[in-house]
Structure formats: C-alpha cells, structure tokens
Amino acid sequence: MSVCVRVAAWAAWDGQADVLAVGGMVPPARPALPSLLRRRVSAIGRKALEAAWTILPADGDPRLILASRHGEYVRTFDLLNALAESGEVSPAEFSLAVHHALAGLLSIATGNRQGHSAVAAGPDSFGHGLLEAASFVAEQAAPALLLYFDEPLPSLYTALDDDDVPAPVALAVLLVPPASPVARVVHMDLHPGTGSVGQCLARSFLSVLEQDIDVAVQGGRHVWRWSHAA
C-alpha cells in the first residue's frame, strides 16, 4: 500500500526539553493553552495537547485523529490500583481514562464539530494513525490533525514491554489536501513484516520531517517506509 502524506505543520516533544520542536507552516501564535486542556490531564497528556494546540489552523477545523498504544496509562494504572485496593474508582478520573479523552477535550475547547477517531494498534499505532489521517484527507479533501503520544509503561510491566517507546514522546501533525500549501510531501509505503520491532515510529517519521531523509522501520505487524516526494 502506498499513500501520499501532505504535511503543513508539525510540533513534537521528545520527553526531555520543556519546549516543543515545531516545523512547517506553523500558524500564528495562539493564546495560552486553556485550563480545560491543562487540569486533570497527565504530564504527557498536557504536552500532547500543547503540540496539537500549537499547529491548529487559524481558519477551518480539522478532523482529529488520536493515536496511542497505551494512552494516558499513568491514569489507568492509578485506577487499577484504586480498584484493587478499595473496589471503587473516581467517576471523574474514569471519564478521562477512555482512549479518545484528549481528542474529546480538544474538540470541546475549540468548538470543533468535525469529529474525531482514536487508534490503538500496538507498536504500529502511529503508522495506522497517520494512515487514518491521510485517508480522511484524500477522501474528504479536508484537513486532519494527527495527535500521537506514548510513554514507557510502569516498571511492573517491564517483562511485557517490547521497548518501542523507551522515552515519552508526543507528536502532532497537520495534514492538508492537494489544494493547500504544504511544507513536506511524504510517500508512505507499508507491507506486512514480522521482524523485531524497531525504533519508535513517531520518532522515525519526525526525523523524516526534520532531516529530509528516507526511513524504513519495522513495526509490530508492518514495515513502514517514508520517503520524500521528488
């Protein structure tokens, strides 16, 4: 399968720096992240929302696609511990533990009625999120914003973790249709593959955007290749 990905802007957090790395045709600076998107959200969740907030287009709401292997698992882990200890969980915390919670919060904060999708596909989560976003843009001729984030699981799960995300990462990418100006045009190819999982797909795609290189990475069930258009 081969798909054309037209990228207007991106914003990323590598888990270390306080500030985001941004690129492409970034819209004018927006007001500070509203409290709705800051309170009761985990650290990785705030950075993910900050990345999305930074590249939201000034006019026209994009479709939102959230992709994450584990979501805000710190919240889920706390809920599981509370359930094991007392048999009860906070309804407010539970309401934010659903996989698409951040996309819902962003939709509410911006009044975006274009809808959203949530993708979880193991080590291939970023790739399938990007495929979902690119497919929407191709079919609807409208923009889509992909929001991906993940972080290492708690140490209790070390034996089950294949370490494809060794450090926290958040990446937001704005995809646009052919009639819109773009910063990068990337060809995405994927085919079945069952080798050892390679490096984080999101970090690999970010290197394509930032360094103007071509990359092929083994995911969980597919090999993903991103190359710049001629």
Instruction: Say how far apart CA 176 and CA 83 lie, in whole Å.
Output: 43
- The amino acid sitting at 82 is A
How would you class 16 by CB atoms within 10 Å of its CB: exposed for 0-12, middle for 13-18, buried for 19 or more?
A: exposed
Mean pLDDT of the region 120-139: 96
Instruction: Say how far apart CA 181 and CA 148 lie, in whole Å.
Output: 23
pLDDT of residue 115: 94
pLDDT of residue 128: 97
Instruction: Say how far apart CA 42 and CA 36 lie, in whole Å.
Output: 13
Domain 7-183: CATH architecture, name and number where available:
3-Layer(aba) Sandwich (3.40)
Q: Which of 96, 130, 133, 95 lies closest to 114 in space, CA to CA? A: 133
For the chain, the structural domain boundaries read 7-183
DSSP assignments along 175-198, one per residue: E--TTS--SEEEEEEEEE--S---
pLDDT for 57-115, tens place per residue? 988 899 999 999 988 888 888 888 888 988 888 887 777 888 888 999 999 999 999 99
Length of the chain: 230
How would you class 92 by CB atoms within 10 Å of its CB: exposed for 0-12, middle for 13-18, buried for 19 or more?
A: exposed
Which is more confidently placed, 145 or 181? 145
pLDDT for 30-49, tens place per residue? 788 888 777 778 889 999 99
Least confident of 19-28, 92-101, 121-130: 92-101
pLDDT for 191-201, tens place per residue? 988 777 778 89
pLDDT of residue 82: 86
First to last CA, the chain: 19
pLDDT for 199-217, tens place per residue? 889 999 999 999 989 999 9
Which is more confidently placed, 54 or 82? 54
pLDDT of residue 142: 95
Average pLDDT value for the chain: 89
pLDDT of residue 141: 94
Yes or no: say if 7 and 180 are a contact pair by the CB < 8 Å rule: no
pLDDT of residue 230: 60
